[in-house]
Structure 1
Amino acid sequence: MTTHSRPERVGQEIQAAIGQILARGELRDPRIGFITITGVKVSPDLRVARVFYSMIGTEKEREETQKGLDAAKGYVRREVTSAVNLRVSPEIFFSFDESVGEGDKIDRLLREVREKEGW
């Protein structure tokens, strides 16, 4: 028995396909900065894929990147469908992943405590 469900496996394939698109530089929108795809959550019926990304930058840069990604949804959807070979083309939504920034904040706070307490 496998440890992954079908939506999780499809999500991993979609994440790899989008990573390839980004690595080849196919998204030429200047609003899209350097981003990292941190995960993909796919609905049980495989019709919706929520793509989570992270980036370093200001709030304004994040908003511009979101606008650029939203504008590129159609292209990304077409490329993902051909790369993953799905019967139904999933609708793609991009969401900023807040967890990376929160993790950095927690790590910084723990380092400050270690320095003060001498751990």
Structure 2
Amino acid sequence: MARNQSRNGGGKRYPRSARVGETLREIIAEDLVRFDDERLAFVTVTGIDVDPELNRAIVFFDSLAGEDGDEEIIEALAEYRIRLQSSVAKQIRAKKTPILEFKPDMAIRSAERIDEILRADRERHGKS
């Protein structure tokens, strides 16, 4: 079998960093639920971007608090960073564990803003 073909007969292989990112997302999301910290009560891990060398991973999140809660959430996640990295190290099979960095998911927030604008525009035209 060719090295860059999947077992199901061909096509591109799923990039390693994407596979690791998805695994990290699952592990971190599960751990966040276990933390008894109200700052993280409504935080959702939306995605993880892992560099190809697996040195760093950006953990993207969203929450019901929106932008107003970002600073407090980033502070809480930073406090738990070592614990999260330890959990990741125990659960994945890799030579090294990426250093975690936390950022709000601006793509989701941009989509929400666009949706709000479109909804307001529909309401304005529908009522005119």
Please give the TM-score of this superposition, normalised by the length of structure 1.
0.86
Equivalent residue for 2:16? Answer: 6
How far apart are 1:3 and its partner, in Å? 4.2
Whole-angstrom distance in 1 between the partners of 2:18 and 2:124:
42
The gaps in structure 1 that reach 5 residues or longer are none
What count of residue pairs does the alignment treat as equivalent?
A: 116
Whole-angstrom distance in 2 between the partners of 1:6 and 1:58:
31
Whole-angstrom distance in 1 between the partners of 2:92 and 2:116:
39
Assess, with a 3 A threshold, how the Cα gap between structure 1 residues 107 and 57 changes in structure 2: closer, same or farther: same
How far apart are 1:62 and its partner, in Å? 2.1
Whole-angstrom distance in 2 between the partners of 1:59 and 1:11:
24
The gaps in structure 2 that reach 5 residues or longer are 6-11
Please give the TM-score of this superposition, normalised by the length of structure 2.
0.81
Cα RMSD between the aligned structures? 1.7
C-alpha contact (below 8 Å) 1:17/1:84 kept by paired residues = no
Q: Percent identity?
A: 28
Whole-angstrom distance in 2 between the partners of 1:59 and 1:39:
17
Whole-angstrom distance in 2 between the partners of 1:11 and 1:66:
19
Equivalent residue for 2:8? Answer: none
Is the aligned partner of 1:112 residue 2:120?
yes
C-alpha contact (below 8 Å) 1:37/1:52 kept by paired residues = yes
C-alpha contact (below 8 Å) 2:57/2:99 kept by paired residues = yes
Q: Structure with the greater relative contact order (CA < 8 A, sep ≥ 6): 1 or 2?
A: 1
- Once the two structures are superposed, the pairs formed by residues 1-119 of structure 1 within 5 Å of their partners are 1=5, 2-23=12-33, 25=34, 27-57=35-65, 59-118=67-126
Whole-angstrom distance in 2 between the partners of 1:13 and 1:88:
14
How far apart are 1:79 and its partner, in Å? 0.2
